[in-house]
Structure 1
Amino acid sequence: MNDYTIIKDHIRKYGGHFAKIIKINKVKYILMYFKNEQDLFKATYDSVMNEDLGKGLQIKRQDEIIGKDGNEEQFVDASTSPKVSTVPSNEVVKKFNQLNLKFSNHINMISGKKDSISKGKEKKRLWSQKLKN
């Protein structure tokens, strides 16, 4: 049974809004998203009543993952952890801008546009010169 049919069967069976399969430590898990809490609790209840003990759907918070032995582990929350910086460095920003420029030029070349990015930069220079005067 491939991933597509597994997802399709679970959505049909439990009424999920969206589902995807993830692989953690060589074990596949299915993540299902529901439109509201009522649908989530109904699906969890139905799965517990119909599946073997311990094989039903489980509710996990967004910051929980499944550990090697089946126990939950917490993600490091970047916004609250003092160890993790959420501010990108100047080097990261420069690399991102270079990549963005390359990609934009490639898209323009494919679509037949000629160097519209440099035209935009020229317009910015003219605009900033007008503001200074």
Structure 2
Amino acid sequence: MATKSFAINKTPHIAEIGDDLELAFEPEVMGDEFMDAYQRLRDTQRQSGVDLDDLSGVDGADLRRVTRAVRVFLGGLMLPESAALMLRLDVVVEGKVVESFEDLDVALARAGRWFWAGHTP
């Protein structure tokens, strides 16, 4: 009987972003987990009607949803600390973070309330 060897990466993949940021990805993401996440990304893209290869004339709200879907897809492949950073949405008023969220609709609604109420931190 023949013997086969397989190498499975056991250490996280590290993406270096600039000089100060590292994002850690799960060592191996395969099968259904990856395909389910990819399908959710594609569904969001189709529902918004955004063609990622041609972003000319795309409505800002639709582009936000697709961008968020890309971040959720990537966050699902990351270790928890990196995912939390990737998925965080900050409400910024006058250059200061006043609140942070993971849900895009909640963040947009809260940011709108800050804006329309004229609040400052």
Does the pair score TM above 0.5? Answer: no
Instruction: Kindly name which structure, 1 or 2, has the bigger radius of gyration based on alpha carbons.
Output: 1
TM-score (norm 2): 0.23
TM-score (norm 1): 0.22
